[in-house]
Amino acid sequence: MEAMWSRFLPAVKMAKQWMEEGKIGTPSFIDTAIGFLAPVDKDNRYYSPKLGGGAAYDITVYAYELTTFMIERPAEDVQVSAVWSDTGVDISDQVTIRYPGLLASLRTSFAAALHERMAIYGSQGKIVIPHPHFAEEVFLYNKDNELVMHFQDTVTENGFLYEIEEAVNCIRDGRIESPVVPHSLTLECARLFDRIMEKA
């Protein structure tokens, strides 16, 4: 199981619960942005190809896995675009995923301090998760953009705890994969990385 701890965070799980309960109606658009100004150094983990640098491996993966967690159905089309550094790694990515009746836009960057959030828009409102990859809270708005509910995680001190618990449960139950982060998702991410690297 990959270290996709974001899928286990209480705020993310609450957002998914609100979606499944129909609190925003039929979802039609997801906009996710994760970006910060990484220190520019050809030898650090952000910029060095030898260290697995690049936005795709470091932050785009979170945007993608959170989106697929919310929308558990096959994509009809995936389009990618990337900007590359002099060291040969991607520093900004744009991924557009088309699902039946829904479009998802994923924007990630090492070169820009983006307004980090995941916004899920539906026919009856929207869900907003600030800093979704380490979410501590989530907001629910109605279609008039009025705040209806707010969930604040006041318990979590280490977000990895929940995934560790899942790993322990899988081992104890004799399962070789978790339904929360299945092997198929790892393969989906690998295919996305391949698409991004093709743009080099």
41-67 pLDDT, tens digit each = 999 999 999 999 999 999 999 999 999
Residue 193 pLDDT grade (very low, low, confident, very high; cuts 50, 70, 90)? confident
pLDDT(152) > 60: yes
Amino acid residing at 35: G
CB-CB neighbours of 74 under 10 Å? 9
Give the Cα separation of 141 and 148 in Å (integer): 5
115-134 pLDDT, tens digit each = 999 999 999 999 999 999 99
Report the percent of the chain where pLDDT is more than 70: 98
Q: What is the pLDDT of residue 199?
A: 65
Mean pLDDT, rounded, for 96-107: 96
Strand spans (E) along 36-146: 77-84, 90-99, 102-109, 117-122, 125-130, 137-142
Q: What is the pLDDT of residue 5?
A: 84
Lowest-confidence segment of 50-54, 96-100, 109-113, 180-184 by average pLDDT = 180-184
Q: What is the pLDDT of residue 181?
A: 82
pLDDT(200) > 60: no
Give the Cα separation of 188 and 191 in Å (integer): 5
Ordered DSSP codes for 118-155:
EEEEETTEEEEEESGGG--EEEEEETTS-EEEEEE--S
In order of start, what are the domains of the chain with their CATH numbers?
A: 5-195 (3.30.360.10)
pLDDT(15) > 80: yes
Order the strands of the 147-152 sheet from edge to edge: 77-84, 90-99, 102-109, 27-35, 117-122, 125-130, 137-142, 147-152
pLDDT(78) > 80: yes
CB 29 within 8 A of CB 102: yes
